[in-house]
Structure formats: structure tokens, C-alpha cells
Amino acid sequence: MQLNELETPVLVLDRIKMENNIKRLREHLKPFNVLFRPHLKTCKSADVARYMTQSGGPVTVSTLKEAEYFLEHGWNDILYAVGIAANKFAHVANLVDRGAKMTVILDNRETASALAQFCSDRKLSLPVLLEVDTDGHRSGILPDSDALLDVAGFFCRSKDDSGAWLAGVMTHAGDSYNCKDTLSIVALAELERKGAVNAAQRLRAVGFDAPIVSVGSTPTAHFASSLEGVTEVRAGVFVFFDLVMAGLGVCNVTDIALSVLCTVIGHQKEKGWMITDAGWMAMSRDRGTAKQRVDQGYGLVCNLDGVVMNDLVMCEANQEHGIIMHRQDPKKTPMLPVGTQLRLLPNHACSTAAQHESYKVVAGGPEIEAQWARFSGWEGSVHVKN
């Protein structure tokens, strides 16, 4: 089957571009001799994950449903990289009972106390990472704060002890998404490294083994100039890339492996609009490029072959309608015939992919070589009681 035979909108994945993106990051990290723990929240697909990492792991997830799915598909070394909550303890324990080597994160004494008690009661040996805040972006404990040692005090000092044990620290340099140039990303990567390493050293100084120092974001993973003291790196959106990453200079627009195939269904010529059947339900409402130098609206427009059509963007979106227009002058919008198929590059690959149930896989051309399933949501198939 060819792309032009499909009912639209559908999610298209260029396997060749995806493989090149994976190879590029692995080659960059190779000299640093660190463990690579790819984040699978972007792809949510075993078929994609097999290109990212070998069966078994290590991998990163953002939901316990992801942990459950990837465990069932052969990956058992899993970092759940969202602060754990007490209503998820039993689910984590269930995954461990089923063979998962789970690691969880947290950043506060309330959760630390509850988790330590839970693991003691269940006689569950569970590695825990303290989330540290190295850039003021989101959650985490400041690396040099008293709270770091205070929260650590709830846990065993090594894996040889029974119960929840402090395995180290992790951080996410999310502020890299706000950088204006690659030099700023390089600087933030070093800030990330120093903060995480400093936190781990403070923990070791008071007797914790803390063997793991985990850092990562797609921008800093690509531009880190030193990873001294770091043991593992995480990244997720690198597998597909998107317009936000292109706007940061992390990739080129031509590296973006994901697109949404849509069809022109009408025109509003007096407004300079082409109407398509891909609205925000197909693209998501993510406007991540709005604060960058170039605002790409809801997506950048390509022809059926995936070649960018200069200055055409999806400027507005309704639930099932997308409006395409010339970014500077509506009078220059080409009124392509009704029935013309186009491909839209997403602002944020994670959120666009989340709108779809499968990837239509191509290898640089129009022929569809496979269909790969993906999933979404939070509730797993295994129901457990706390």
C-alpha cells in the first residue's frame, strides 16, 4: 500500500530517519562511557523500542502502564522517572514480583517516609533515586540543600540492606527547552552534570553508596561536553525529533521522522486558507515553538514526499479541521486542489504521537512497509490493591 491510498489523518514514521537519529545520539555518547537509558514515553511502542535498545533494558518510562507494557515485551530494567506517589506503591511491587527491576524517584520527605515503611512491611528491596533540581525547571531537591540529606535519611544506605535503598540521584535538564542557542545548551548540560554529581558526592560523604548519577534531556544529551561523574544518560524525543528540537538547533527539520498525513478538504480563498482533515485531535494542541524565533503554528507543511513547502504552516486548528496558510501573506497561500495529500511536521513528537494508535512506517518513500501499534493512557491491565 502507498501513502496516497490511506484514509486520513494518520501518523507516518520514516524508519530511515528514525534509525539515523538513534545512531547519531549513540555515537555522541560513546566516548563518554556512560549507560544509555532511552526514554520510551515518546514512542510507546515495542517495535520502535527494539531499534532504541536491546531487549532487557535499561529503559526509562513515565507511566506505570508503560512499565507494564515494556516488561511484557521483554524489558525489565526500568526507571519510572516521575515522582512516585503512595497510590502507586502496590503497582510497583507487583511489577517487581513479575520480574521487573524497578527504580523509582521522589523529592520529598512525606513520600520517602511512606515508601520506606511500605517496603519494610512488604520486605521489598527497591532502589530509589532522589530527584534533584539543577536548573529550576520543575520538581526536585536543590543539590546543595539540607533537604537532600533529610530525605535521604529515610532509606537504607546500600542494596545489601533490606527495604528501600538509596541508589543515587537523577535530574532532568528541562530548561534546555528554553535555550536560545547551542552554546546555552552546552552550558546547561554542564550545570546539569555538576549539580547531579555534587548531590551524589554529598550523599556518599555521609555513608550512602549512591552508585547512580542519572542525567538527561534530548538537548543536553546531544551537546554535553563532559559527563565526568555521570553514570547514565536519558533522552526520549531524539528518536523522532520535532519542530521544537529543530528550533533549538538540536536537529534539522529534515531529521524529523514523524509526520501526520492529511488531505485538503476545502478552501476559504478570501482568507487565504486551505482546510484539511487534520485538526488538533490529530496534531495535539502543543504550541511549543510559539516562544522560539520561528513560530511554526500547529505544524509545518510538507508535500506527500515529505519535502517542506516553504512558509506554509498549520496556523489554526479545530477539533477535526486544520487551517493551512502562508505564514507571512495569506494571499500567497497556494490553493492546492481538494484531495491533495500533505504531511504535517509536529511541534512536539510526544504529544502528536499520543493522538494516534499506530505508526504507518515508510523508508524514505511512499510505500508503507509496516504498521506498528502504540498505546496511550495511564491505567494498566493489572489491578492491585494497596
Q: How far is CA 5 from the centre of its chain?
A: 31
CB 250 within 8 A of CB 53: no
> Does the residue 144 lie in any domain?
yes
In a domain, residue 384? The reply is no
Q: For 174-205, what is each residue's pLDDT tens digit? A: 999 999 999 999 999 999 999 999 999 999 99
∠ CA 345-233-186, nearest 5°, is 70
- CA angle at 376 for the pair 222 and 238, rounded to the nearest 5°: 10
Cell of 210: 549512591
Nearest CA to 361 among 35, 85, 102, 19?
19
Residues 49 and 189 in one domain: yes
In a domain, 386, yes or no: no
Sign of the four-CA dihedral 270, 272, 274, 280: negative
Listing DSSP states for 124-154 in one string gives --EEEEEEB-SSSSSS-B-TTSHHHHHHHTT
Identify whether 179 is part of a domain.
yes
CATH number at residue 333: 2.40.37.20
Nearest Cα residue to 227 out of 53, 52, 38, 35: 35
If we measure between CA atoms, which residue out of 305, 299, 302, 297 comes closest to residue 343? 302
- Over the chain (386 residues), the average pLDDT of each successive run of 10 is 96 98 97 97 98 94 98 98 98 97 98 98 97 93 98 95 95 93 95 98 98 97 97 98 97 98 98 98 96 96 96 96 97 97 98 98 96 93 71
Q: What CATH number is associated with residue 226?
A: 3.20.20.10
Q: What's the pLDDT score for residue 85?
A: 98
pLDDT tens-digit series, residues 198-224: 999 999 999 999 999 999 999 999 999
For residue 381, tell me if it sits in a domain. no
Within-domain flag for 274: yes
Quick one: pLDDT at residue 303? Answer: 97
Order of strands, sheet of 232-233, starting from the edge strand that comes earlier in the sequence: 35-36, 232-233, 212-215, 164-170, 126-131, 101-106, 77-83, 59-61
First to last CA, the chain: 48
Q: Which residues pair with 59 in a beta bridge?
A: 78
User: Which residue range forms the structural domain that includes residue 181?
Assistant: 15-240
pTM of the entire structure?
0.95
- Asked whether residue 213 is assigned to any structural domain, the reply reads yes
Say if residue 26 is in the same domain as residue 146: yes
pLDDT at 386: 67
Regarding whether 295 and 209 lie in a shared domain, the answer is no
Distances (CA, A) of 273 to 279, 341, 343: 14, 15, 16
- Number of folded domains in the chain? 2
Q: In sequence order, what DSSP letters do the residues of 163-197 get, joined into one string?
A: SEEEEEEE---GGGGG-SSHHHHHHHHHHHHHHHH
